[in-house]
């Protein structure tokens, strides 16, 4: 591996001053040249280092200094983070808008923190793209119970991603927030764990077991079985529609890196940090399923940002790769 040497370019703005009128005239930078100290490839790499590879601001700055010979402070990585986040705003919103249309959508959530306050990290997985969203807690009156408050906040968060979903099937766990008229596909991976916990070993048909649980006298088991029995049609959607997965593993797999990030960093420290993370994670996972190079996509986004243009779209229909457009 050869030594890594950064390419550093210096642009000097010549300025002229008129002694008569007192007006100073300055030259302008060439098109695409950023006004700061960070070029598009360095910005893309630093954003990928923090968002995709889950490095802290201090470790990212140490990486740039020690391995790339680019002196960097943690504060500068925050500025770069905001720059990358702004560059991804347009393609990210395109992905969110497109969530209304896939035939099947996988959704899942995990608690996180924003500025030391509880928040929700959501993921929505379509066949060829993925969207993350972080939604902060909203304060509630003290008379509300913790359970009802969390349920309401989760519902508001979920609506921000999948409220306008118009596809056929929404793959999810059995959270009550999804019971709003959409056709659901309850996840058998979640259900298997509950069966093992409450109704194991399974020896007879599911319906018989649920009826047995309804009249078992065990309060927890009765509630569990009542919910499943009354809405048992959600369990068998995959048997009626071809190509529908019986589990919600696609959403859980996509959510796993974000959960690891949260455990390492204890969440984000600001609203801008949350926007960066949800956009970077969306780009990272979307590039993975489309078999695209995430770093190159970020470079193109930063080049467009510095040129005053919108970043290239990440939607499959607008992708230049044959795999994503198929």
In whole angstroms, what is the distance from residue 15 CA to residue 291 CA?
A: 48
- pLDDT confidence bin for 228, thresholds 50/70/90: confident
Q: For residue 13, how many C-alpha atoms fall within 13 Å in the half-sphere facing its CB?
A: 10
Average pLDDT, the chain: 77
> Residue 210: pLDDT above 50?
yes
| Greatest mean pLDDT range, 72-76, 172-176, 213-217 | 72-76
State whether the Cα torsion 202-206-207-210 is positive or negative: positive
This prediction's pTM = 0.62
Tens of pLDDT along 35-48?
Answer: 888 889 999 999 99
Of residues 154 and 294, the one with the higher pLDDT is: 294
Residue 234 has pLDDT above 90, yes or no: no
Nearest to 258 by CA among 172, 151, 126, 134: 134
Lowest mean pLDDT among 142-156, 164-178, 196-210, 239-253: 142-156
CA distance 214 to 235: 17
Once rounded to an integer, what is the mean pLDDT over residues 77-93?
92
Region 175-191: mean pLDDT is 66
What percentage of the chain has pLDDT greater than the value 70? 76
- Please indicate whether residue 233 or residue 180 has the higher confidence score (pLDDT): 233
pLDDT tens for residues 155-173?
Answer: 444 456 666 666 656 777 7
Residue (of 172, 123, 177, 131) closest to 153 by Cα position: 177
Please determine, for residue 324, whether its predicted confidence score (pLDDT) is greater than 70.
no
200 Cβ contact list (under 8 Å, min separation 6): none
């Amino acid at each position: 591996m050869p030594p890594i040497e950064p390419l550093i370019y210096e642009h000097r703005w010549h300025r002229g001053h008129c002694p008569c009128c007192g007006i100073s005239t300055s030259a302008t930078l060439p098109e695409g040249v950023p006004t700061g100290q960070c070029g598009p490839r360095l910005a893309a790499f630093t954003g990928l280092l923090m968002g995709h590879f889950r490095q802290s601001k201090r470790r990212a700055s140490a990486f740039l200094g020690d391995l790339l010979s680019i002196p960097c402070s943690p504060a500068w990585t925050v500025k770069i983070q905001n720059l990358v986040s702004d560059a991804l705003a347009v393609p990210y919103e395109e992905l969110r808008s497109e969530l209304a249309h896939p035939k099947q959508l996988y959704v899942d959530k995990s608690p996180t923190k924003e500025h030391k306050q509880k928040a929700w990290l959501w993921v929505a997985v379509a066949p060829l793209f993925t969207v993350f969203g972080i939604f902060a807690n909203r304060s509630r009156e003290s008379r509300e119970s913790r359970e009802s408050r969390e349920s309401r906040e989760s519902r508001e968060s979920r609506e921000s991603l999948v409220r306008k979903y118009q596809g056929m099937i929404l793959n999810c766990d059995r959270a009550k927030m999804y019971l709003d008229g959409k056709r659901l596909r309850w996840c058998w991976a979640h259900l298997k764990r509950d069966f093992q916990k409450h109704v194991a070993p399974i020896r007879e048909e599911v319906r018989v077991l649920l009826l047995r649980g309804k009249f078992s006298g065990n309060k927890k088991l009765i509630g569990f079985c009542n919910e499943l029995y009354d809405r048992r049609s959600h369990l068998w959607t995959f048997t009626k529609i071809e190509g529908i997965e019986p589990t919600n593993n696609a959403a859980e797999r996509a959510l796993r890196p974000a959960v690891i990030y949260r455990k390492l960093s204890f969440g984000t420290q600001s609203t801008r940090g949350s926007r960066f993370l949800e956009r970077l994670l969306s780009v990272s996972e979307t590039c993975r399923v489309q078999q695209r190079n995430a770093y190159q996509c970020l470079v193109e986004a930063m080049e467009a940002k510095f040129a005053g243009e919108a970043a290239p779209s990440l939607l499959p229909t607008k992708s230049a790769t044959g795999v994503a457009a198929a």
